[in-house]
Structure 1
Amino acid sequence: MTSLNLDLAAGRARRGPRWPGTFRDGHARNDVAVRPRAVVVGANINGLGIVRSLGQAGVDVIVAGTSPWQPAFHSRYATGARRFAALHGPAFLDDLLHLGRSLFVTTDWTVRTVSEHRELVAERYRLRLPRRDRVEMLVNKVLFQQFAEQHGLPVPRALVIRGERDLAGLADLGFPVIVKPCTTDHVERERVLRARRAWSRGEAERVCRTLLHGIKDDVIVQEWIEGPDSEIYFCL
């Protein structure tokens, strides 16, 4: 997950999101003066964490997403809810520009859409984004692995699988490993698994073949680093 802070303005949290496109009193509001100060795009578990953090910091938050069943819509810190047709591509841009407030995005393909159309989005939002090639590197696990290795960053040993002949390289890794598509776009679009732990070379080969067939793109296999979830950190 890559989550980029595109802007932040102070406000005060109110309770009671309604679905779709309404606020606490149940009426849709379109005037800028009464809109909350931040928009979180994506109501998944990543979005819930950001909504909680912003709300606890005293920021008004609108949650935008495609399904009312996702958890961030039901947070006490969400002051409003907006239904978006999609979280990437032209339909997403239309909804985003219509809303036009401070923005937090929670999925990689949303970040990529904003990055690719940053001049258009910048008409309504103050953007804090790296240049396009750096954004692409951050959302692509293969490109980030290569960047980390070139700069001596402490990352697990990994192998890029582009086809059947690359599977022989699995013999050089320690097991268990984690097998992932190169970007989470495939998770959203093709509904493949975000990640799969494999305990043996044979299991890793089977998972890689399944992913290669399903996404028609690179697969990355990384050595598994044991530890609790409390040792996982994100930069928002």
Structure 2
Amino acid sequence: MGVAGVASIVASSQRDDIAFASRYVRERVVLPPLSPGYEGEILGRLKRLGLSREERAVLFYVGDAEVAFVQRYRDELEPYFRFLLPSAEVGGALLNKSLFYDLAVKHGLPVPHTEVFADAAEVRQRVDSLPFPSIVKPSFNWDWFWRTPVERERFPPYKRALRRFDSKEALLEFCEALPRRGSGFLVQSYIEGSDEGITSFHGYFDEHSKCLGRFVGREVRTNPPRTGESAYSRTVHDAELVERSIDYLTRIGMRGIVKIDYKLDVRAREFKILEIEPHFQFWHLLGAYAGVNLPLMAYQHQRGAPVSADNGYADDLHMLYLINDLRAFWGGYWRTREWSVRSYVRSYAKKKYYRVFDPGDPLPFVRSMVGFVTRRIGRVTASRGKAG
């Protein structure tokens, strides 16, 4: 929204959220942790915030947990805020990977073969029928936000816990170590190929599932490689994928903001859908720089204003998350020789913007760097204390 010069109110559970430092922020609201025990308090604070506005503000949500909260309390929030969500059935399936597979099959969406399990005992009973290579995923992302020191010692953070399995033995060992979650987990066919085969459709759909704006992006590198979040990304044009994406999303009755993650299945010669995300995210910053500002379209549409629906955008415009990209290179791509030092450095010659650094709005970057240095010092101090 800042790219369009629209001021915002930021509400976050993180007191040191770098968004608080932006010059485009007019008001800052610190919320309790986004967990079941605090949802009533969060809802109350948001209602009071809504009452303080002369008109209903447009609500933006930037992660699975946030959009899940809005879905649960949509009836209570609608008198105070403007937002557009898919139906409860579709919205619930988009957040639950186990339910999403059923939704995709029902509507004929191309997805990797997936099987859902309650626990490792079920995996052991059916392991002979599973395809390899495979990948294990939680039903909900937050199921793998580890809760105890033992879990954090046993497993890496969520994205790093996602990995390829080539044998029944390795798969069973991993599943048997997983802490039990009521929602279970799923085992999915692993799609071979580099991260540059990961392509994403981004769009905004009105209440009649009509696409008002869209663009397409592609990964250059992710952290960690293969299963991680974007580190270096770019815009691309793919008219056929746009047409297919709009068709898929119309089938399920999509409304509001959306992203489809695809990966090219070379053997099947088609893009397979990895997930569909119904929330706002960093990709929209790249889209805005390229010429398609989806958050602005959502803001205009939900306020009943004319929507700037020009879908022309710059091709091969890059966005860099520098810290993540450096980690991805030294911790992964350099070791596997997918990127040499020379090819890595040359990749930065493209026209690009930065995920955090903006010379016109530098304070979020400054706060980010201060936080990074502070955390590094804290870790070094803690390790020295243990050694002593």
Query: Could you tell me the TM-score, scaled by structure 2's length?
Result: 0.41
C-alpha displacement at 1:208, in angstroms? 2.0
Q: Classify 1:167/1:158 alpha carbon distance in 2 versus 1 (closer, same or farther; 3 Å).
A: farther
CA contact (8 A) 1:181 1:194 kept: no
C-alpha displacement at 1:169, in angstroms? 3.6
More deviation in 158-167 or 223-232? 223-232
Structure 1 residue aligned with 2:158, among 184, 191, 194? 194
Equivalent position of 1:224 in the other structure: 190
Q: Does 1:107 align with 2:63?
A: yes
Equivalent AA in structure 2 for residue 194 of structure 1: Y
User: Number of aligned pairs?
Assistant: 181
Matches within 5 A, 1:36-47: none
Equivalent AA in structure 2 for residue 173 of structure 1: P
C-alpha displacement at 1:74, in angstroms? 4.7
Structure 2 residue aligned with 1:97, among 47, 50, 58? 47
Q: Distance in 2 between matches of 1:169 and 1:71?
A: 46
Equivalent position of 1:62 in the other structure: 9
CA contact (8 A) 2:58 2:83 kept: no
C-alpha displacement at 1:188, in angstroms? 4.7
Equivalent position of 1:85 in the other structure: 32
Structure 2 residue aligned with 1:145, among 101, 107, 114? 101
Unaligned runs of 5+ in 2: 51-56, 152-156, 203-257, 259-279, 281-388
Q: Classify 1:140/1:76 alpha carbon distance in 2 versus 1 (closer, same or farther; 3 Å).
A: same
Identity of aligned residues (%): 27
Q: Does 1:178 align with 2:135?
A: yes
Q: Classify 1:210/1:97 alpha carbon distance in 2 versus 1 (closer, same or farther; 3 Å).
A: farther
Radius of gyration: which is bigger? 2
What does the per-residue CA deviation read over 1:105-127, in whole Å, with 9 as the maximum and x for residues that have no partner?
Answer: 12223222222222210110123
CA contact (8 A) 1:190 1:214 kept: no
Q: Distance in 1 between matches of 2:184 and 2:132?
A: 20
C-alpha displacement at 1:187, in angstroms? 3.8
What does the per-residue CA deviation read over 1:136-164, in whole Å, with 9 as the maximum and x for residues that have no partner?
Answer: 11111100011112222111111212131
Equivalent AA in structure 1 for residue 90 of structure 2: R
Task: Tell me the C-alpha RMSD between the 2 structures.
Answer: 2.7
What does the per-residue CA deviation read over 1:171-220, in whole Å, with 9 as the maximum and x for residues that have no partner?
Answer: 43121x33221112424573774341133332222222233x34243101
More RCO (CA 8 Å, sep 6+): 1
CA contact (8 A) 1:102 1:125 kept: yes
